[in-house]
Amino acid sequence: MKELKVPTSRSYHEYLISSLKTPESAAGYIEAMLELESEGPEPELLRAGLKDVVDAYLQMNKLSPGAKFIYEKLDRMLSENGGEEIYALITLLDKLGLQLAVAVK
């Protein structure tokens, strides 16, 4: 049986960022963050997930100034008030038997 060799020169975060460079992987990652949130609001987890995706897009030079502005605004909202509006939407959808989904355009 062959031994699995894990690269030691790259951190997990670098690997994660490199894996989020397609719209499909970014959508799946953010959607997973939102599903985890259904167990209770965790704005820091959502903030970290969004930052990972933004970092991946920045590395590829695929983040427009407008998208960066909106990200910074959303990050402040999650930081300052815990993202009450987002979590209220998620909770309402859950009560209606629905869920928020992230999909590639």
What is the per-residue pLDDT across 60-100, written as a single tens digit (0 to 9) for each? 999 999 999 999 999 998 888 888 888 888 889 989 999 88
**Residue 63 located in a structural domain:** yes
More confident residue, 33 or 2: 33
| Residues 6+ positions from 63 with CB-CB distance below 8 Å | 54, 57, 71
Kindly tell me if the per-residue pLDDT of 11 is higher than 80.
yes
Kindly state the DSSP code that residue 8 receives in the 8-state scheme.
S
**Residue 38 located in a structural domain:** yes
**Residue 31 located in a structural domain:** yes
**Residue 50 located in a structural domain:** yes
Q: CA-CA distance, 57 to 68, in Å (whole number)?
A: 10
The answer to which of 21-30, 48-57, 90-99 has the lowest mean pLDDT is 90-99
Average pLDDT, the chain: 86
**Residue 66 located in a structural domain:** yes
| Residues 6+ positions from 20 with CB-CB distance below 8 Å | 26, 29, 52, 53, 55, 56
**Residue 101 located in a structural domain:** no
Q: What is the pLDDT of residue 37?
A: 60
**Residue 1 located in a structural domain:** no
**Containing domain of residue 36, as a range?**
12-95
Tally of structural domains, the chain: 1
Kindly tell me if the per-residue pLDDT of 33 is higher than 70.
yes
Q: Give helix 43-59 / helix 12-19 axis angle, nearest 10°.
A: 70
**Residue 103 located in a structural domain:** no
Distances (CA, A) of 12 to 32, 45, 84, 89: 18, 17, 30, 32
Per-residue pLDDT band for 38 (boundaries 50, 70, 90) equals: low
Among candidate residues 8, 18, 9, the one with its CA nearest the CA of residue 55: 18
Average pLDDT estimate for 36-56: 83
